[in-house]
Chain A
Amino acid sequence: MLAKRAFEPEFLKRLDGLILGIKRARTARIGPRTLGRVQGIGIELENFKDYVEGDDLRFLDWNAVGRLDELFIRTFRAEREIEVTILIDTSASMALPAKDDKLGLAVALGAALAYVGMSENDAVRLMAFGVRNGKTALTQTQFHRRREAYLGLLPFVLGLKGEGSTSLNGAVEQLLLGRRQPGMVVLISDFLVAAGEYETALTKLLAARNEVKVLHVMGERESTGALAPGFYRMRDCETGQIREIVLGAQAAAACRSKVEHIVRRLREFCAARSITYVAAFGAANLERIITQEFPRLGLVR
C-alpha cells in the first residue's frame, strides 16, 4: 500500500525543511480580544500592565512588587499554534480502481502534510470519513504536535479502508460540531459526488473561518479512461447502480472529458473562494506532487 511509503525514512527526509503554507498569522490571539480577563496562554512574555481587580493573581509580578511596591500583571504572547485537520475521504470510490491505489495516495499525501505540520510543532490530526451503516462515520487521531509522535499515526493510517458511500457534507457538519478554534482543514477526496454537495461542504468550512485546502485525488486509469475496450456491465461501487457501457476510443474520450469537467468546476469553485486546489492524479506522481505541486501551489513552503 502506498500509505506505508509516507513512513519510510527516505521519504520523510525529503519532507524535512518544509512548512505548511498557512496564510493566517501565527501570532493571532485565541478568541476575541478582551481587556485583562483573558490572557495569552503562551510562555513568551509580551508586556506588563497595571493590576486591576479581577486579574489573575497568578500572573502578578512579585519581583516588581518587592522592588517597586506596585502591582503589575505580566501578559504573554499567545501560543503560535494552529490546528491542522487533514480530512480524508475513505468511501468505496477511493478504493477503485484497485490498481490505482487512490486511497493509498490520499493517505500518503495526508500523512506527508501531517509530518510537515508536526515538524513545526503545529497541532495536526488525521480524520477519515465515510458512510457506515447509513450514517456518516468520522474517525480521527488526537492532535499531535511533535514529529517524534509521527509514527503514532501509522496504525490509524493502516487501518483505513475504502468502503461505504461518500458524504462530504455530513463529514463537515460533524467536524464543525467539535467547535474547535478555526484552523486549517485539508480535504482529500476524489470529489466524485454531485457538485452541490462539495460546494456546500467547502462553504461551511469557510464560514467557520477555517483555512481550507483541497486535494483532488484521482487514479491514473479513471482519469484517462484507460480501460480495455469491450462491452461492460458497470456497477457503481457506492450506489450499486448498473449500466451497460461499450468502452472504446470514443468512450475513453468521453470519460476524459467528464473528468476535465469535474476538475474545472472544482478548481473554479476553489479559486473563487481562495481555496488552494491541488490536483493529485496518479499514485506514481506522489513525490512529484509533494515536492513540486505543493510548493508551487503554496500548500507548503
Chain B
Amino acid sequence: MGFLNPLNLLYGLSIAVLVLIYLHARSRSTLEVSSLMLFDEVEQPMAKPKLARVDLLFWLELATLAALSLAVAGLYLKLEAAPQRIRRHALIFDIAAGMGAREGNRTRLDQAKRQALAIVSAAPAGDQFSVVTYAQEANVRHATSGDRSAVRAAIESLAANAVAARPAALAAALMLAREADSAELFADRLPSGAAQLDNSTPHLRFHQIGTDADNLAIVSLDSGVPGRTQGRCVIRNFSADARTSQLAIDCDGREVYRSSISIPARGQAIVPFGPLANGGLLHARLLTPDALAADDQRWAYATASRSFHVLIVSPDAEVRDDLARVVRAIDPNFVIAATDPAHLKAAGAAHFELAVMHDLDDAGIRADSRLLIYPAAAREVSVGAAVPYCEMAERTDSGVLSHPVLLGAARSIVLPIWMEPLARGAGPGPSGTIPLAAIGTNGEGRLGVIAFDIRGHLLLDPDRLDALVLTVDLIKALAAPQGLYITPTGTYVSIPATGRAQVLAPDGTTIRLSADQWGQARFRPLQAGRYQVSSAGRSQQVFANYYDAAESDLESKPVTIRAREAGAGAFTATALPRVRPVALALIALAAIAFLSESALLAGRAVLGARRHV
C-alpha cells in the first residue's frame, strides 16, 4: 500500500474539522438540571456513552471524507506479482545514425535485429513482446502482443535514421518499456547521461552492438564566392589509423573537384577548391566507401553570380554599415542598397531579391525575401514588448550552445505556425524561452526574423560570434533560390504546397503529406540525401545533411550496465510488485456514503413531518 501523492493526505485534515464539529455539537447536548432525582426512573441508554457512539450521519460523513482524501492522495495497493506464465518483454532499438554503420555486409542494426529475433524465437510460447525505438525521440513500433509474426515484421521493418541519439529519447524509451517484465536494449552505445539509467531500470539488459569501425565524415562544406574566393570542405577521420579517401565535388552536376586525400588517425583535413566559376548547388561526396554512408556527402549552395539586389533599411547608420559588410562578405556579387527609412520612397518602386529591415515595419517594400531584424511591427509576426536584454541559449539546428550569448535589447515575437524557430533564448525574469530567430515561407515569399537588436556593432563583436553566424545563416537561407532547401537531418522543413504533396525520400520510399491552412507541408528528413517534394505539378528539392561528431565516431566503447539477471539471453521472471490504484473504488465508496447520508436525511425529514402533523 502506498500513495501516489502523499502530500494530498493533508486533505485528510478535513476529518479533524468534522470531528471538531461533532465534538462541539456533543458538548452542547450537556443539560444542567435541578436534580437527577427526577430522572431516576428513566431507563439507562443501552450503550454506555462513548466517544465512538455517535450519529450514523457522522460515520457516513467520516467515510466520505476519508475515502475522498485517500483517493486524492492516490492510494494504491502493491500486489506481489504472482509467478506468471506470460511475461512481457520490451525490445528497445537504437536507430540513430551509428546503427546504420556497416560492418561487413551487415549494418549494426541488422545485427541487433538478428539478436532480437533470436530472443523472440527462444521465448516460451505465450510471452509477449513490444518493439520500441529511439533516436531523436522514442516511438513504440509495436505494442505489446503475443503475435510473433507481427513482432518479427516490426523488427524487420526497422531502419536507421541519419540523426544522433538523444539521452532524453533513450530515457523515454525506457519509460515506455517500464511495464514490461524485462527490457532488452540494442544499441552500439549509450548517449551521454545514459549511465544514470542503471538504477532506475533494474530489469534492463543491454546488448552492445558492433565493434570498432573506420569512418570518415564531411564536417562542413563552404562554397566560397564564385569567381572570387575558394571554397572549403572539412573532412574528419574517426579511425584509429590514417585513412585515404577520394573526394569529389560537383556544382550543379558538373564536377569541379576530385582528389584523393589522406587524413591522419583521428585528424581532419581542410580541402580547398575553386573558386567556382558559377554559383549553384554544391555537392561534396567521399567516393571511398566507409562504415557510415550518411556523413559521406554534403550539400551547400553557392550564390549565383547573377545580379542579386539587396536592400538594407535601418534608422541607424552604423547598423546599415554593419549589415552591408555582412551581406557583402556572404557574396561580394550582391548589389547592395542601404537607406534610411525616411528615404525609403526612392527605393520603394524598385524590386529586390532580399530586403533586410532593421527596427521598422516592412510595409511598402517589394522583395522576394525579407529579413526583419528587431522588428517594430510586422504583418505576419506578432511583435510584443521590448525587453532590455536577452540571452541566446540554443540553435535548433546545432543544439544547445556551450555558453549562452548575452545579447542586447530584443522584442518578444510570437511566430506563426509556418515559421520555424532557428534560435531560442531567455529574457529577463521568469519569462521562459522566447524565439530569437525564425524562418518560414508563405505566399509572399520567404521571411526571416531576428528578434534582438544589432545596434552597437553587435554583429562585429568577437565575443558574440554566434549572433553573426546566426545572421549569416539566415541571410544565406533567404538568398538561396526558391524551391531549394538545404537543412540538417532531423529538423522540420516547411514547404509551400497546394493540397496533397508527395515526398520522395533518398531511399526511394514515398511520404504523402497534406498542406495546412497556410499552404505549408511539413516533414522531417531523417535520412541524409535528396528529397523531392511534388505538389500540384511543382517540384521542390530538400537536401538533408548529416553530421554528428559523437554519432560518426564508430569506435566501440564498452558500456557497463549492471544486469539484474545473470545470463544473457536467458529469461527470468522479474517479480516486480504490481501497483493497483484504488481511487475509483474509493470514489465509489464516497458516493455510496454520500447517497446513504442523503437517504437518511430524507427519511428523517419525512418522519419529522409526520410527527408534526
* In the complex, chain B residues 530-544 whose Cβ is within 8 Å of any chain A Cβ: none
A93 CB within 8 Å of chain B: yes
Could you tell me how many residues of chain A have their Cβ less than 8 Å away from some Cβ of chain B?
Answer: 37
Q: Shortest CB–CB separation between residue B56 and chain A, in angstroms?
A: 13
A69 touches B (CB below 8 Å): no
B31/A237 in contact, CB under 8 A = no
B33 A235 Cβ-Cβ under 8 A: yes
Q: Of A75-83, A106-114, A242-250, A290-298, which binds chain B?
A: A242-250
Could you tell me if B41 and A255 are in contact, using CB atoms closer than 8 angstroms? yes
Within the complex, what minimum Cβ distance (angstroms) separates B169 from chain A? 67
A232-B29, A233-B49 known; A97 vs B41 contact (CB < 8 Å): no
Chain B: CB-nearest residue to A241 = B36
A232 near B30 (CB under 8 angstroms)?
A: yes
Does B29 lie within 8 Å of A245, measured CB to CB? Answer: no
Q: What are the interface flags for A191-235 relative to B under an 8 Å C-beta threshold, 1 for contact and 0 otherwise?
A: 010000000000000000000000000010010010100111111
Say yes or no: is B157 at the interface (Cβ < 8 Å to chain A): no
Bound-complex Cα distance A222 to B31 (A)? 13
From A250, A257, A258, give the contact of B37 (CB < 8 A). Answer: A258
Interface residues on B, range: 20 to 34
Residues of B within 8 A of A230 (CB): 29
CA distance A170 to B210 in the complex (A): 112
Cα of A190 to Cα of B33 in the assembled complex, Å: 13
Q: How far is the CB of A120 from chain B (nearest CB, A)?
A: 34
Whether a CB of chain B sits under 8 angstroms from the CB of A238 is yes
Chain B neighbourhood of A160, CB < 8 A: none
Q: Is B42 close to A, CB under 8 A?
A: yes
Please report which residues of chain B, range 115-168, place their CB below 8 angstroms from some CB of chain A when the two chains form the complex: none
Q: Are B34 and A96 in contact (CB under 8 A)?
A: yes
Judge whether B43 and A254 touch: CB under 8 Å: yes
* Distance (whole angstroms) from the CB of A89 to the closest CB of chain B: 11
Instruction: Tell me the minimal C-beta distance from A218 to chain B in angstroms.
Output: 9
CA distance A233 to B38 in the complex (A): 14
From A96, A225, A245, residue with most partner B Cβ within 10 Å: A245
Flag A82-101 by CB within 8 Å of B: 1 or 0 each.
00000000001110110000
Query: Contacts A245-B39, A254-B39: A234 and B34 contacting too (C-beta < 8 A)?
Result: no
Given contacts A96-B33, A235-B31, A236-B33, contact A257 B41 (CB under 8 A): yes
Given contacts A93-B34, A93-B35, A234-B33, contact A258 B41 (CB under 8 A): yes
Q: What is the bound-complex CA distance between A192 and B35, given in angstroms?
A: 7
Interchain CB contact under 8 A, B40 and A237: no
Cross-chain contact A235 with B42 (CB below 8 angstroms): no
Convert B14-57 into 0s and 1s, putting 1 for each residue whose CB lies closer than 8 angstroms to a CB of A: 00000000000010011111111111111111001100000000
For the complex formed, measure the closest distance between the CB of B22 and the CB atoms of chain A, giving whole angstroms: 13
Known: A93-B34, A192-B35. A231 touches B40 (CB 8 A): no
Q: Tell me how far the C-beta of A84 lies from the nearest C-beta in chain B, rounded to whole angstroms.
A: 27
| Residues in chain B near residue A244, CB distance under 8 A | 44-45, 48-49
Known: A230-B29, A232-B29, A233-B49. A251 touches B34 (CB 8 A): no
A153: interface (CB < 8 Å): no
Tell me, rounded to whole Å, the shortest Cβ–Cβ distance linking A99 to chain B: 12
Nearest chain B CB to A196 CB, angstrom units = 13
Across the interface, B31 reaches (CB within 8 A) one of A93, A233, A238, A262, namely A233
Query: For residue A230, which residue of chain B has the nearest CB?
Result: B29
CB nearest neighbor in B for A219: B34
Contact (Cβ within 8 A) B41 A237: no
Q: How far is the CB of A270 from chain B (nearest CB, A)?
A: 19
A1 to B170, CA, bound (A): 88
Task: Indicate if the CB atoms of A237 and B42 lie closer than 8 Å.
Answer: no
Task: Find the B residue at minimum CB distance from A243.
Answer: B36
Q: Which A residues lie within 8 Å of B41 (CB)?
A: 254-255, 257-258
User: Chain A residues near B30 (CB, 8 Å)?
Assistant: 232-235, 242
A289 within 8 A of B: no
**Bound complex: CA of A93 vs CA of B43, how far in Å?**
22
Kindly state the separation between the CA atoms of A233 and B41 in the bound complex, as whole angstroms: 16
Q: What are the residues of chain A within 8 A of B34 when measuring CB–CB? A: 92-94, 96-97, 102, 190, 192, 219, 222, 237-238
CA distance in complex: A192, B34 (Å): 8
CA distance A97 to B31 in the complex (A): 10
CB distance from B150 to the nearest CB of A (A): 69
Q: For the complex, what is the distance from the CA of A234 to the CA of B37, rounded to whole Å?
A: 11
A251 touches B39 (CB 8 A): yes
Residues A255 and B31 in contact, CB atoms below 8 Å apart: no
By beta carbon, the residue of chain B nearest A92 is B34
Query: Could you tell me if A192 and B37 are in contact, using CB atoms closer than 8 angstroms?
Result: yes
Q: A259 at the A/B interface (Cβ < 8 Å)?
A: yes
Q: Which of A31-84 contact B (CB under 8 A)?
A: none
Cβ of B33 and Cβ of A222 under 8 Å apart?
yes
Task: Give the chain B neighbours of A255 by CB distance below 8 A.
Answer: 38-39, 41-42
CA separation between A96 and B44, bound complex, in Å?
23
Closest A residue to B46 by CB, please name it.
A246
- Does B31 lie within 8 Å of A231, measured CB to CB? no
Q: How far is the CB of B45 from chain A (nearest CB, A)?
A: 5
B42 A245 Cβ-Cβ under 8 A: yes
A251 contact set on B, CB distance < 8 A: 39, 42-43
With A and B bound together, what is the CA distance between A222 and B89 in angstroms? 81
B36 CB to nearest chain A CB (Å)? 4
Shortest CB-to-CB span from B359 to chain A, Å, is 82
The docked-state distance in angstroms from the alpha carbon of A76 to that of B177 is 127
Q: With a CB–CB cut-off of 8 A, which chain A residues contact B29?
A: 230-233
Residues of B within 8 A of A102 (CB): 34
A242 to B34, CA, bound (A): 12
Which of B26, B32, B43, B49 is A237 in contact with, Cβ under 8 Å?
B32
Of all chain B residues, the one with the shortest Cβ separation from A94 is B34
Q: Flag if B35 contacts A238 (CB, 8 Å).
A: yes
A254 to B37: give the CA distance in the assembly, Å: 11
The chain A residue with its CB closest to the CB of B611 is A229
CA distance A254 to B36 in the complex (A): 12
CB distance from A106 to the nearest CB of B (A): 12
Q: Which residues of B contact A190 (CB under 8 A)?
A: 34-35
Q: How far is the CB of A243 from chain B (nearest CB, A)?
A: 6
Tell me whether A254 and B42 are in contact (CB under 8 A).
Answer: yes
Which of B26, B38, B42, B44 lies in contact with A222, CB distance below 8 A? B38
For the complex formed, measure the closest distance between the CB of B51 and the CB atoms of chain A, giving whole angstroms: 12
> Please, how many angstroms separate the alpha-carbon atoms of A255 and B49 in the complex?
21
**Within 8 Å CB of B45, what residues of A?**
231, 244-246
Q: Which residue of B lies closest to A236 (CB)?
A: B36
Q: How long is the Cα–Cα vector from A238 to B34 in the complex, in angstroms?
A: 7
**Chain A residues within an 8 Å CB radius of B32:** 96, 234-235, 237
What residue of chain B has the Cβ atom nearest to residue A242's Cβ? B30
Does B37 contact A243, Cβ atoms closer than 8 Å?
Answer: no
Bitwise, B189-213 to A at CB < 8 A (1) or not (0) is: 0000000000000000000000000
Decide if B38 touches A192 in the complex (CB within 8 Å).
yes
| B604 CB, min distance to chain A CBs, angstroms | 13
20 A-B residue pairs with CB within 8 Å: A93-B35, A96-B32, A97-B34, A192-B34, A192-B35, A225-B38, A233-B29, A233-B31, A234-B39, A237-B34, A244-B44, A244-B48, A245-B39, A245-B42, A245-B44, A246-B45, A250-B43, A255-B39, A257-B41, A262-B37
Q: A93-B34, A234-B33 are in contact. List 8 more A-B contacts (CB 8 A).
A: A190-B34, A192-B38, A222-B34, A225-B38, A233-B49, A246-B42, A257-B41, A258-B37
Q: Which residues of B come within 8 Å of A, CB atoms?
A: 26, 29-45, 48-49
The 9 closest A-B pairs by CB, nearest first: A93-B34, A192-B35, A254-B41, A244-B49, A96-B34, A236-B36, A233-B30, A251-B42, A232-B31
Chain A residues proximal to chain B, CB less than 8 Å: 92-94, 96-97, 102, 190, 192, 219, 222, 225, 227, 230-239, 241-247, 250-251, 254-255, 257-259, 262
